[in-house]
């Protein structure tokens, strides 16, 4: 009886072994059907970038970007429900009231590359489009030929966008024999400025401001300051403050001068900028600080380079900044630049780079940060009610910090000097 059981046990093991041997070829074949990953697979993988959440926390916006190809703009509620998925959506912003998502729609990447291969002229290339999505109404408005846009930080109802240089251009040819024709308008661009649109998000109305060089929105109230290069019978070149509520323009400075670092106070009641009336081709034009108050007709020069000769000159590379209550204006000074000898010919100019092992930074680091060093300045403050100027920073205190809360009125400041420790960083 035992021998019969042992034979049956051996027979069952034999059948199991035969079954396993029969399955091995199928397992090998199944594994051979799975190919190895290569570099083309990375193009199919998606990653999430530039995540932002609305001010009321009801939805999030992000980009779903493949390894190669056009990104998708995604809007989803915080519980995961999809609100909008739009291909080729770039550079989005959410309005402060969480009613709108504004973004740039770019042409297909493959189309752009195909046109570039055949050397298509820039003016014939497809332009970007502005997308304005109303989250509450599920409505999307598209505006073509848009270069860029800006939305306010803490107020709602309006925005500005810049038209492409080829938008609003009259392509018809003038009849030279017709002497009654109006002179052809100058072409928008970096030199002449661009056309910007003040757009009402609720009423879908717009106001066109032509030939604008620079623009800055107020933080809390519907105002903006801009440098207009438009010069005709109705408008003169200079600085303009625009009121979104009344759609009115107030010219606060006239003249074809160099204007830099336009700034508005948070409530839009004051404006400031740097201006130089010297030749734009001069090696280093001297700047003056101008301030405008809403009860004044025009801006006034409150500080010139002669007023701060001990500190150097006004630094036109760094932005101006009003305190929250508008009582102070922060700016920067910089050492007076060494003027080049304009009488020397190009082959007479000696160019050398001198570095010592005792320098606080490595030679390579100095080369990379050369432009930053040239534009570096020292912090100062102008007290608007009294007209008093206090120089906060200098060579011994190159950095001044006001803390992380930007809404404070900067009653206190902290001076920082890391220069003595830079050599230790270089040698470590």
From the CB of residue 182, how many other CB atoms can be counted at a distance below 10 Å?
6
3-state class percentages of the chain: helix first, strand second, coil last, to nearest 5: 20, 35, 45
pLDDT in the model for residue 291 = 96
DSSP state letters, 155-216: --SEEEEEEPTTTT---SPP-TT-TTSPPPPPPPBTTTBEEEEEEETTT--EEEEEEEEEEE
Residues contacting 253, CB < 8 A, separation 6+: 238, 239, 259, 273, 275, 290, 292, 298, 299
Average the pLDDT over 137-147 and give the result: 93
- Residue 176 confidence (pLDDT): 47
Residue 389's beta-bridge partner residues? Answer: 382
pLDDT band at 1 (very low <50, low <70, confident <90, very high): very low
pLDDT at 16: 59
**Cα–Cα dist 47/385, whole Å:** 52
176-190, 293-307, 364-378: the lowest-pLDDT one = 176-190
Residue 410 has pLDDT above 80, yes or no: no
Tell me the pLDDT tens digit for each residue of 334-390.
988 777 777 778 777 888 888 887 888 888 888 888 888 888 999 999 999 999 999
**What residue ranges do the domains of the chain occupy?**
43-141
For residue range 253-282, list pLDDT tens digits in order.
998 899 999 999 999 999 999 999 877 666
Model pTM score: 0.80
Mean pLDDT of 324-335: 91
- Average pLDDT of the chain is 83
Cα 46 to Cα 66: distance, rounded to the nearest angstrom: 4
How far is the first Cα of the chain from the last one, in angstroms, to the nearest whole number? 84
- Range with the lowest mean pLDDT among 31-45, 56-70, 133-147, 294-308? 31-45
């Amino acid at each position: 009886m035992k021998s019969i059981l042992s034979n049956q046990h051996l027979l069952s093991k034999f059948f199991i072994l035969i079954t396993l041997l029969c399955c091995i070829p199928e397992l090998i074949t199944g594994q051979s059907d799975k190919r190895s990953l290569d570099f083309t697979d990375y193009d199919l993988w998606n990653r999430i970038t530039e995540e932002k959440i609305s001010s009321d926390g009801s939805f999030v916006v992000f980009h779903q970007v493949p390894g190669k190809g056009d990104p998708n703009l995604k809007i989803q509620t915080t519980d995961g429900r999809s609100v909008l998925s739009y291909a080729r959506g770039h550079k989005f912003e959410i309005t402060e009231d969480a009613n709108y998502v504004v973004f740039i729609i770019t042409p297909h990447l493959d189309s752009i590359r195909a046109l570039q291969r055949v050397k298509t002229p820039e003016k014939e290339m497809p332009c970007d489009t502005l997308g304005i999505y109303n989250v509450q109404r599920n409505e999307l408005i598209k505006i073509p030929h848009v270069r860029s846009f800006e939305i306010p930080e803490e107020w709602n109802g309006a925005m500005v966008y810049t038209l492409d240089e080829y938008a609003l251009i009259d392509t018809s040819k003038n009849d030279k024999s017709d002497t009654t024709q109006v002179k052809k308008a100058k072409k928008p661009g970096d030199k002449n400025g661009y056309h910007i649109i003040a757009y009402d998000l609720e009423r879908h109305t717009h106001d066109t401001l032509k030939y604008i060089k620079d623009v800055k929105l107020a933080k809390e109230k519907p105002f903006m300051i801009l440098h207009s290069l438009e010069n005709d019978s109705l408008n003169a070149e200079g600085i303009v403050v625009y009121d979104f509520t009344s759609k009115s323009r107030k010219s606060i400075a006239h003249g074809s001068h160099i204007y830099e670092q336009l700034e508005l106070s948070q409530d839009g009641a004051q404006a400031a900028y740097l201006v130089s009336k010297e030749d734009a081709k001069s090696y280093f034009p001297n700047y003056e600080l101008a301030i405008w108050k809403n009860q004044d007709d025009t801006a006034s020069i409150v500080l010139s380079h002669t007023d701060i000769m001990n500190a150097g000159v006004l630094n036109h590379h760094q932005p101006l900044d009003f305190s929250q209550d508008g009582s102070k204006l922060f700016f920067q000074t910089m050492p007076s630049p060494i003027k080049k000898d304009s009488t020397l010919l190009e082959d007479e100019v000696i160019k050398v780079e001198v570095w010592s092992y005792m320098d606080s930074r490595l030679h390579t680091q100095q080369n990379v940060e050369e432009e930053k060093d040239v534009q570096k300045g020292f912090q100062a403050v102008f007290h608007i009610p009294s007209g008093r100027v206090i120089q906060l920073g200098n060579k011994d205190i190159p950095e001044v910090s006001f803390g992380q809360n930007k809404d404070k009125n900067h009653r206190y400041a902290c001076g920082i000097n890391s220069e003595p420790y830079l050599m230790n960083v270089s040698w470590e």
